[in-house]
Structures are given as C-alpha cells and as structure tokens.
Amino acid sequence: MSGDRPDAAELVDAVARWLTDEHAPAVKGASRFQALVAAQALAIVSRELALGAAHDAADAAALGALTPTATAADGAAARQALADALRAGDHDEDLAAVAAVLREHVRRKLDLARPGYDAG
C-alpha cells in the first residue's frame, strides 16, 4: 500500500542484501551461485522501481520523436511505433540518427541491468 514502510523498493533491497551478505556466504556450489543470481535479479528490480518511469518517459520522448505521426504516449508504444516504421523502411535515409537515439535507449537499459557497463 502506498505510504507503508517498508515500501517495495526497501523490501527488495533488504532481501538482496540478505542474499548477498548472509545467505550466499553460508552456502556452497550451485546454491551459492543461485543466491547471487537471485540477489542480482532483485538489484535490477530495485533499479527498475527507481528509474523505470523516467526511462519510460525518455523513451517516449526520444523514440516518439522519430515517429511523429504515431501517438506514442509511453515508451512501449514509442518502441513499437519505431519498430513498425523501421520495418516499413521509413528511416532508411536517416539510420545514423536512429542509431544515435537507439544507443541512448540501450544505455538506459544498461543503467537498469548493469550500471557502469558502458563506462569504458
């Protein structure tokens, strides 16, 4: 419920910390690996809770600008509209501009999945 503590992000963070700091060190082999994978998945969920709405809005604006005739009110709609436009060949003459926008889209996705991955 909204306003309750701990909130969803705090719960996810607490479970991830427990898996990483307490559970994984106490187990061996495949169980340790699975605990660390679960902790990483929860960390992704936590980042999605924190950044997802902003990333969706950025996708809607950036990708939607490439398909101005479509009414892309959210990131998912903008992504679909752009995919349809690319499939139809609507951007064959400006692929460099599309690639630049998609590069930023991928950076936003990496911010969720693996922060710092593209920092080199």
Q: In this predicted model, what pLDDT tens digit does every residue of 103-118 receive, in sequence order?
A: 999 999 999 999 998 8
Percent of the chain with pLDDT strictly greater than 90: 66
Task: Quote the number of domains for the chain.
Answer: 1
Q: Which two tokens stand for residue 98?
A: 């599309």
Q: What is the mean pLDDT of the chain?
A: 89
Residues in the chain: 120
Domain that holds residue 41: 8-113
- State the average pLDDT over residues 55-73: 80
Q: Which two tokens stand for residue 85?
A: 């436009």
Is 3 within a domain? no
Q: In this predicted model, what pLDDT tens digit does every residue of 87-106 receive, in sequence order?
A: 999 999 999 999 999 999 99
Is 80 within a domain? yes
Q: Which two tokens stand for residue 53?
A: 């709405």
Q: Please check the confidence at residue 3 and state whether its pLDDT lies above 80.
A: no
